[in-house]
Amino acid sequence: MTASNSSLAFNSEEILIGGKWRPAENGATHDVYNPSTGDMICKIGKSSAKDVDDAVRAARAALDGEWGQMTAVERGRLLMRISEAIKNHENELTTLEAMDVGKPITQARNDAVAMARYFEFYAGAADKVMGHTIPYMDGYMVYTLREPHGVTGHIIPWNYPMQIAGRCIGGALAMGNTCVLKPAEDAGLTALLFARIAEKAGLPSGVLNVVSGVGAEAGASLAGHPDVDHISFTGSVGVGKEIQKAAAENIVPVTLELGGKSPQIVFDDADLDAALPFLVNAGIQNAGQTCSAGSRILVQRGVYEDVISRMSEAISKLRVGQATDNLELGPLVSAKQKAIVDGYIDSGKESGLSIAAQGVMSDDLPEKGCYIKPTLFRDVPPDHKLAQEEIFGPVQVVIPFDTEVEAVKIANGTEYGLVTGIWTENGARQMRMAKAVKAGQIFINNYGAGGGVELPFGGIGKSGFGREKGFEALYGFSVLKTVATKHD
């Protein structure tokens, strides 16, 4: 495909290596589908191990060029120009993303805006990462330096392609690293357009390389490449394990963001009017394909029926349509993902679980579109797979509890620990709960806090480790050196 109506026309079959756009080895491609219609829309380059090797070499060489000489303030200014350029191309990015992954236009636009914001945040942060001086024995001057790892690999998923590219590429560049980006098979188009935008904004050749392709080939060869110094990965637990094993061969640090099964805990004294939009939206935003989806709703017995009836009323009004219809939900990303989520809904029905509410499908949706109605299951046993596994679709479960102790036990009773929402007006309980729950982010009387790029994000347990977003991420994208000088 060549993106038309774009001032940055690009050929989706080309990958970016060392400042050159060229086809993958042997011209290999794979097909790209629009999940709103099921139609194939274009082909995208399918990078080989050789292509990835070329990209890593280009990223290594770029460290010795202009980029390696830039001061932190100059890198910051360049990141700010990239942020501005992303904003100037917001419409193209939005349209392309909506077509590629099925996001309703407003949600796709939010992602483009967030990507620009990541670059703005990391632009400002680039020259503010400091070392320390350390009081030590007489005759010594000791200080620490923060330096880039060097070549960083970024393997990202399809659910928030622009936001996740923004957070990992923005942070890595702020610290002076170079990058090789492997977008997901189902979401490569905006990564290619973004690379064009960054290039035009002045990012030197080889600093960002993009190798679209499939996980088992391009992803695996990037994760195991002996000349990559750091890997950041967002995706499934299974692939996260493979990435960690591959990196272990080279003793290379990894940041793993592996999703979750995040609870929202509603106590009897909660402000239900305030909670309701979050109880609903945190589970259905992006059609539920969100690592931090607050989709496990734990409700204290005194308000249990009230919460179910309010959520049911709201969910039964949610509409599912094509990305361009811009309703509350679009399709899932792919037929594969729809099959996974349909399987979960079927398993709930087969276990005799009761569905409290479902949303509404638009009329005349294309037959091959990947649509699922938002679905609310009630009285789900905490150990049922619907309450344990990441569904990654618009399926929410409600679980009753009696006491705070029981709420903590259920909340912490999965393999994951990404996010927890706590709804209570009792201040002491807010503080007890924040300490007791297993999660990298905790929200009290809100969920997500608007997704601010400033807020460090990452998991505990099988949700992974390392922190992305915010200033904290910059420590992960850098190496600490300690320098001790002996003097008279």
Q: Is 291 a catalytic residue?
A: yes
Stretch that binds ligand NAI, among 82-90, 120-128, 234-242, 307-315 (CB under 6 A): 234-242
Minimum distance from CB of 249 to ligand NAI (Å)? 13
| Binds ligand NAI by CB under 6 A, chosen from 103, 117, 146, 182 | 182
Q: Which amino acid is at 206?
A: G
Decide if residue 53 touches Mg ion (CB under 5 A).
no
Question: How are beta strands 263-266 and 151-155 bridged, if at all?
Answer: unpaired
Asked if 161 is part of the footprint of ligand NAI (rule: CB under 6 A), the reply reads: no
In the block, residue with structure tokens 């996260």: 240
Residue with the two structure tokens 């993009």: 210
By CB atoms closer than 10 A (0-12, 13-18, 19+), residue 112 is buried
3 state DSSP class of 75: helix
**Contact (Cβ atoms closer than 8 angstroms) between residue 33 and residue 60:** no
Q: List all residues 6 or more positions away from 78 whose beta carbon is below 8 Å from its beta carbon.
A: 70, 123, 201, 202, 203
DSSP bridge partners of 209? 180
Among the listed residues 36, 48, 159, 286, the single contact to ligand NAI using CB under 6 A:
159
Q: By CB under 5 A, is residue 33 in contact with Mg ion?
A: yes
Q: Using DSSP, state whether 40 is helix, strand or coil.
A: strand
* Residue 219 C-beta: closest distance to ligand NAI, Å: 2
Contacts of 241 (CB under 8 A, 6+ apart): none
Tokens 């077509």 correspond to 99
The single residue among 236, 244, 426, 446 that binds ligand NAI, judged by CB under 6 A, is 236
Report what 179 binds from ligand NAI, Mg ion, none; CB cut-off 5-8 Å by kind.
none
216 is a site residue for ligand NAI (CB under 6 A): yes
Residue 33 near which of Mg ion, ligand NAI, none (CB within 5-8 Å, type-dependent): Mg ion
Fill in the per-residue mask, 105 to 144: x = in contact with ligand NAI (CB under 6 A), - = not in contact.
----------------------------------------
Nearer residue to Mg ion within complex by CB, 13 or 120: 13
Residues 6+ apart with CB under 8 A from 109: 90, 94
Near ligand NAI in 256-275, by CB under 6 A = 257-259
Residue from 148, 161, 235, 394 binding ligand NAI (CB under 6 A)? 235
Which region, judged by CB under 5 A, interacts with Mg ion, from 28-36, 130-138, 257-265, 402-410? 28-36
Give 467's contacts (C-beta < 8 A, 6+ positions apart). 255, 440, 456, 457, 458, 473, 475, 476
- Answer yes or no: are the C-beta atoms of 202 and 81 closer than 8 Å: yes
101 binds ligand NAI (CB under 6 A): no
Contact 284, 329 (CB under 8 A): yes
Question: Which one from 257, 328, 390, 468 is the annotated catalytic residue?
Answer: 257
- What x/- string results for residues 88 through 117 when contact with Mg ion is judged by CB under 5 A? ------------x-----------------
Cβ contacts of 102 within 8 Å, gap of 6 or more? 34, 35, 36, 287, 322, 323, 330, 331, 332, 333, 370
- Residue 101 Cβ vs Mg ion, minimum distance, rounded to whole Å: 6
Site for Mg ion in 149-208 (CB under 5 A): 186
Instruction: Reply yes or no on whether 97 is catalytic.
Output: no
Neighbouring CB atoms inside 10 A of 313's CB total 12
Q: Shortest approach of ligand NAI to residue 451 CB, angstroms? A: 13
Nearer to ligand NAI, 176 or 421 (CB): 421
How is residue 449 annotated by DSSP? Answer: G
Interaction between residue 339 and ligand NAI (CB under 6 A)? no
The DSSP letter of residue 360 is E
Does 184 contact ligand NAI by CB under 6 A? yes
* Site residue total, ligand NAI (CB under 6 A): 27
Please identify, among the stretches 141-149, 197-205, 251-259, 395-403, the one whose residues bind ligand NAI according to the rule CB under 6 A: 251-259
Angle at 332 between CA 208 and CA 106, to 5 degrees: 70
Picked from Mg ion, ligand NAI, none, the partner binding residue 184 (CB below 5 to 8 A depending on kind) is: ligand NAI
Query: CA–CA separation, 346 vs 342, rounded Å?
Result: 6
Element (H, E) at 231: strand 230-234
Residues that bind ligand NAI (CB under 6 A): 155-159, 182, 184-185, 214-216, 219-220, 223, 234-236, 239, 242-243, 257-259, 291, 340, 390, 392
Residues that bind Mg ion (CB under 5 A): 33, 100, 186
List active site positions.
257, 291
